[in-house]
């Protein structure tokens, strides 16, 4: 079974099947989640030094910081699913 990878910028990819939520980083709950993730060493910074535009919450309590907007992430995920590759049953 091949994992569906979504490009999040700067040659970084996330496994789409493990994503629970994508949110903007500006709200207080998201800031707390980022801080807690950093304290527990469960944060992955995929921004390559750029501004964090979205926070991706993974199914195993990891938090990924990315430099693309939640809208861009959503469009990329939708296009993967529309191509028939986002159902987890793709063959490669």
Average pLDDT for the chain: 91
Q: How far apart are CA 1 and CA 81, in angstroms?
A: 16
CA distances from residue 75 to 36, 46, 79 in whole angstroms, order as listed: 28, 19, 6
Say if residues 54 and 23 touch (Cβ distance below 8 Å).
Answer: yes
Contacts of residue 75, Cβ cutoff 8 Å, sequence gap at least 6: none
Whether 92 has a pLDDT exceeding 50, the answer reads no
Q: 25-41: per-residue pLDDT in tens? A: 999 999 999 999 999 99
From the list 65, 18, 62, 21, the residue with the least C-alpha distance to 40 is: 62
Mean pLDDT, residues 42-60: 97
pLDDT score, position 61? 93
Does residue 9 carry a pLDDT above 80?
yes
Report the pLDDT value the prediction gives residue 28, as an integer from 0 to 100.
98
In this predicted structure, what is the pLDDT of residue 90? 41
**CA dihedral sign, ordered 36, 59, 78, 3:** positive
pLDDT at 13 over 60: yes
Distance CA 17, CA 6 (A): 10
Grouping H, G, I as helix, E, B as strand and the rest as coil, residue 54 is strand
* Average confidence (pLDDT) over 48-68: 97
pLDDT tier for residue 2 given thresholds of 50, 70 and 90: confident
């Amino acid at each position: 079974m091949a994992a569906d990878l979504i490009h999040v910028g700067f040659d970084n990819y996330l496994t789409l099947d493990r994503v629970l939520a994508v949110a903007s980083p500006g709200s207080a709950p998201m800031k707390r989640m980022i801080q807690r993730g950093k304290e527990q060493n469960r944060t992955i910074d995929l921004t390559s030094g750029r501004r964090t535009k979205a926070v991706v919450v993974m199914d195993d309590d990891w938090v990924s910081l990315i430099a693309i907007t939640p809208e861009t992430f959503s469009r990329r995920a939708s296009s993967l699913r529309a191509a028939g590759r986002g159902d987890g049953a793709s063959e490669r």
